[in-house]
């Protein structure tokens, strides 16, 4: 795929003025989302109450089912938000209005700790968080034209950096707030709500600095259902189908991996400091590693591979990342085998799994974010970004259904312990092999705002 555009304006080296507001908004919004998600499994299994204030805890399979059902909705609603943004409201107004509902969802979770409050709070967050996802990432790309298109890859890297910067701090803070008797669920859910309100305010401050691409109206409808739009969507849906399996494994770090960590030796000795973090806090290693890996991959690994081995195209990066996810899941499978043998493996083994999983994430997730934007027609950027996110929705629906129906006729789980991890490792391996075959036949086009397509 060529990297040059048909027009050749003087290149611009400075970022568009609206980018800091988008990145700041993303850091605060991701703090709120990942802070809430980090404690969901523990909250449902150890803190959930009934209307009388008595314990009403969920079982582990029930909690995993609920978590992944929420994530399904969270990644299904992007298609609704994208349609509103690209056809009627525009990206900016869609983001602002849905963000307000997002804030209200956090308020419900903070005040009502029953199943009723859990359900309604998560539904409002799913609508708000999901609805704005494709609009925010497409809004990033809209700030660029032919003269600064070469900066898109870099800014999507920083955009992902902001996601994990917010996630890192919230994943450390909210589990501590939840477990500390001085604070509890009210503060643990309330602090992410405050950060979401801050995210909305920061985005509003940038309203006069953004490039605003107007909604497509009837042109949007014609392009989506026209021959070129149809071909674009069909090509990308083929790629996104492989992402379903990737996200089915990745998103279990918030559920199955937390439950596994709770059975491991979590004591850490760091020089003069001895500490034993709770199981949910170990999720923070993922965003920490992302912050380290983004510059490492962008400035060292990608150039080195392209120079000494082969051209490291976007689809090749994704293929390597998928096989790394297979390797990542072999580790918790081994950990579970040790637990089944009556041993208590050290948490360092799961930390190693996070290293491999995060390398896979950087190769797959960031690349698909940028690739999805550039492959979309100009009037349907949000919709294509939403289709990318829809793969996460179906991934979580798949995991939720697996956890719902893994019981046999005798009531025993068909995927107990290590077999659970072996199942997902196997389907990831099959998907990785099929992706390599599909990608070798993929032919697409690149579209940037105010430029012609480049084959």
Summarised one tens digit per residue, pLDDT across range 289-347 is 988 998 899 889 999 999 999 889 999 999 999 999 999 999 999 999 999 999 999 99
**Residue 269, H or E segment:** strand 268-270
Summarised one tens digit per residue, pLDDT across range 107-149 is 999 999 999 999 999 999 999 988 888 888 778 878 877 777 6
No. of H helices and E strands in the chain?
17, 2
Summarised one tens digit per residue, pLDDT across range 45-68 is 999 999 988 999 998 878 888 888
Summarised one tens digit per residue, pLDDT across range 259-289 is 899 999 999 887 778 888 888 888 889 988 9
Higher-pLDDT residue of 233 and 240 is 240
The reported pLDDT for the residue numbered 410 is: 58
Structure token pair of residue 259: 């439950």
**Inter-residue contact 15 to 151 (CB < 8 Å):** yes
Domain boundaries, the chain: 19-270+278-439
Please compute the mean of the pLDDT values over residues 158-176 and round it to a whole number.
84
Summarised one tens digit per residue, pLDDT across range 391-429 is 988 998 898 888 777 766 555 667 778 999 999 999 999
pLDDT exceeds 50 at position 35? yes
Higher-pLDDT residue of 85 and 194 is 194
The reported pLDDT for the residue numbered 450 is: 54
In our burial notation (b when 16+ CB lie closer than 10 A, e otherwise), range 156-188 reads bbbbbbbbbbbbbbbbbbbbbbbbeeeeebebb
pTM score:
0.75
Fold of 19-270+278-439: Growth Hormone; Chain: A; (1.20.1250)
pLDDT exceeds 80 at position 99? yes
The residues near 298 (Cβ < 8 Å, ≥ 6 apart) are 154, 157
| Cα of 351 vs its chain's centroid, Å | 19
| SS3 state at 266 | coil
DSSP string for residues in 167-202: HHHHHHHHHHHHHSTTT-HHHHHHHHHHHHHHHHHH
**Inter-residue contact 314 to 363 (CB < 8 Å):** no
């Amino acid at each position: 795929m060529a990297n040059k555009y048909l027009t050749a304006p003087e290149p611009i080296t400075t970022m568009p003025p609206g980018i800091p507001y988008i990145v700041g908004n993303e850091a605060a919004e991701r703090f709120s989302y990942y802070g809430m998600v980090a404690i969901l499994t523990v909250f449902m299994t150890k803190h959930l109450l009934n209307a009388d204030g008595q314990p009403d805890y969920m079982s582990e399979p029930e909690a995993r089912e609920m978590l992944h059902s929420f994530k399904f909705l969270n990644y299904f609603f992007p298609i609704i938000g994208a349609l509103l943004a690209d056809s009627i409201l525009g990206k900016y107004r869609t983001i602002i209005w849905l963000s307000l509902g997002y804030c209200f969802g956090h308020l419900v979770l903070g005040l009502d700790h029953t199943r009723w409050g859990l359900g309604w709070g998560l539904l409002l967050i799913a609508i708000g968080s999901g609805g704005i996802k494709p609009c925010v990432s497409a809004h990033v790309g809209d700030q660029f034209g032919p003269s600064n298109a070469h900066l898109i890859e870099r800014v999507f890297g920083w955009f992902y950096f902001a996601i994990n910067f917010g996630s890192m701090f919230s994943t450390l803070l909210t589990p501590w707030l939840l477990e500390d008797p001085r604070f509890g669920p009210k503060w643990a859910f309330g602090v992410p709500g405050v950060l979401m309100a801050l995210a909305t305010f920061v985005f509003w401050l940038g309203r006069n600095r953004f490039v605003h691409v107007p909604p497509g109206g009837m042109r949007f409808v014609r392009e989506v259902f026209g021959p070129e739009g149809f071909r674009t969507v069909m090509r990308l849906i083929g790629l996104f189908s492989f992402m379903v399996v990737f996200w089915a494994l990745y998103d279990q770090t918030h559920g199955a991996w937390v439950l596994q960590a709770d059975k491991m030796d979590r004591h850490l000795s760091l020089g003069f400091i001895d500490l034993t973090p709770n199981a949910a806090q170990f999720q923070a290693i993922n965003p920490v590693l992302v912050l380290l890996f983004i510059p490492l991959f962008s400035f060292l690994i990608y150039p080195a591979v392209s120079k000494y081995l082969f051209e490291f195209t976007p689809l090749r990066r994704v293929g390597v990342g998928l096989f790394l996810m297979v390797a990542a899941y072999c580790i918790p499978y081994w950990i579970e085998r040790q637990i089944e043998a009556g041993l208590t493996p050290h948490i360092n083994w799961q930390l190693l799994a996070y290293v491999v999983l995060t390398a896979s994430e950087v190769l797959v997730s960031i690349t698909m974010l940028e690739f999805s934007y550039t492959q979309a027609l100009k009037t349907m950027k949000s919709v294509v970004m939403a289709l990318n996110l829809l793969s996460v929705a179906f991934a979580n629906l798949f995991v939720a259904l697996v956890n719902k129906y893994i019981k046999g006729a005798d009531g025993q789980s068909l995927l107990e312990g290590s077999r659970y991890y072996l199942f997902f490792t196997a389907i990831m391996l099959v998907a990785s092999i099929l992706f390599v075959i599909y990608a070798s036949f993929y032919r697409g086009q690149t579209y940037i705002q105010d430029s012609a397509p480049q084959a």
